Structures are given as structure tokens and as C-alpha cells.
Amino acid sequence: MRIGELAEHAKVSVRSLRYYEEQGLLSSTRSPGGQRHYTDKEIARVRFIQRLYTAGLSSRTIAELLPCVDSPSADNADTAWNRLVEERDRITENIKELTRARDALDLLMEMNRQHRDRLAAG
């Protein structure tokens, strides 16, 4: 199938598919005219890549995880598990930082309202 068909089946943009190829996450064969051609198995791969992006992973991290899909083995599964744990820990730390920032903003907003009330009472 051609790139537009893959995009339609996988529910992604053609631009995304080109990006995935640039990042080494997806490959295609080329026709003599230079058109990309894919097999049906790429639909599942693209959907899997999308799930990884949805989980907050970067293209570099996804590239590190794909050997688990391409060459399934206990070692690759363990490597992928460890990498996913690292990413989860990173996201958890980001959540903590965002929560601290939100709490600090809440305090500033409360201080603003108190100051505003004092000005109004004048």
C-alpha cells in the first residue's frame, strides 16, 4: 500500500509517517518512481508507535524500544521493561514538579486576591 493508504488505515497523517521514517521507526520499500510502499504489518507498527507517543515517549526512546518488537526475546523484553520504568519515573518526577508549580501559583493567586480585597476596602 502507498503512504496515503497507510495513513488512512493507521489513522495518522502522512507527515507523521514521513517523520517516523526519518527517525528510523518505520521503513518502506520504494517504487522505481520513488513512491513509498508498505505492507499490512506496518499498520500495527504505526499504531504501536502512536501508543508509545501517547505515553509521552520521545522518538529516541521509541527507537530504543522497537527491538523488543522486531526481535522478541526475554533480554529485549527486560531491556524494554527497564526503559519503560525509567520513563515512568521521569514522568512521575515531572508531575511532582508541575504540582509544586501549581501549588506555588495557587498561593500567588490567593495573595493577589487578598491584596485586591485590601485595595478595595481602602
pLDDT-above-70 percentage for the chain: 100
Q: How far is CA 19 from CA 25, 38, 72, 102, in A?
A: 9, 15, 25, 34
Mean pLDDT of the 87-103 span = 97
Q: What is the pTM of this model?
A: 0.79
Mean pLDDT of the 92-114 span = 98
| pLDDT for position 69 | 87
| pLDDT for position 39 | 93
